[in-house]
Amino acid sequence: MRAKKVLIVGSVALLLTALGGPASAAGSGNTTVTFSITTGALSITVPSSAGLSAGTPGGTITGQLGAVTVTDNRALLTASWTSTVSSTDYTTGGGAASETISKSNVSYWSGPATATTGVGVFTPGQVTAAQAQALSSTLTAFTLTAGVGNNSASWNPTLVVAVPAAAVGGNYTGTVTHSVA
């Protein structure tokens, strides 16, 4: 019987040696993981054209331009931007004095945001018609402060044209420029 015990013990020892020895507790290991967050640009899209309704000398013409959208894909830790708006004078025919409506006769109001994405404080330059401002100088249209990461804002601004009593008939054309920085 003693020979059997030695044989069994010897077989177990041989088996443990073949399997790599007795099991031990697992250690730990570290894996360094890297990845990238891609960034983009700060951009603005505007309608290519807008037609306002007709009016009469001494009257008022009001109309919306269509959606203006600022998209900030810079993925910044502290994001902010300001969109501004400016205008040219509006002319018809040869652009003589009686064929020109000065940009100071055209008021702008951004209205509230129609859509926003991301984190931040989105603030319209002129939230209501009562806050409309003349485009005689560059105005703030919309801002973002306290932003984090990517964001966007859209609004549909309104123009109000105070037609001078001396204005002549015709189709008047001018340019409204939105910018963002």
CA distance 9 to 70: 79
Structure tokens at 123: 């603030």
The answer to whether 113 and 124 have CB atoms below 8 angstroms apart is yes
Q: CA angle 72-155-128, nearest 5°? A: 130
Distances 119 to 59, 147, 152, 159 between C-alpha atoms, Å: 42, 5, 9, 29
Q: What pLDDT, on the 0 to 100 scale, is given for residue 37? A: 87
Q: Which pair of structure tokens corresponds to residue 155?
A: 């609004």
112 domain-assigned: yes
Number of domains within the chain = 1
Q: Residue 68 in contact with residue 125, Cβ under 8 Å?
A: no
Residue 16 belongs to some domain of the structure: no
Distance of CA 2 to the CA centre of its chain: 86
Give the H or E element holding residue 116: strand 113-124
Residue 59, domain member (yes or no): yes
> Is the residue at 103 inside a domain?
yes
Judge whether 24 lies within some domain. no
Q: Which amino acid type is present at position 135?
A: L
For 131, phi then psi, to 5°, come to -100, 5
Provide the residue range defining the domain that includes 44.
38-180
Task: Let me know: does 155 contact 111? Beta carbons within 8 Å.
Answer: yes
Label residues 21-38 b or e (16+ Cβ within 10 Å = b). Answer: eeeeeeeeeeeeeeeeee
The answer to whether residue 18 is domain-embedded is no
Determine, yes or no, domain membership for 26. Answer: no
Mean pLDDT by 10 residues, the chain (181 residues): 49 49 75 91 97 96 98 97 98 93 98 98 98 98 97 98 96 97 98
The answer to whether residue 17 is domain-embedded is no
Full-model pTM: 0.81
- The widest CA-to-CA distance across the chain, in whole angstroms, is 128
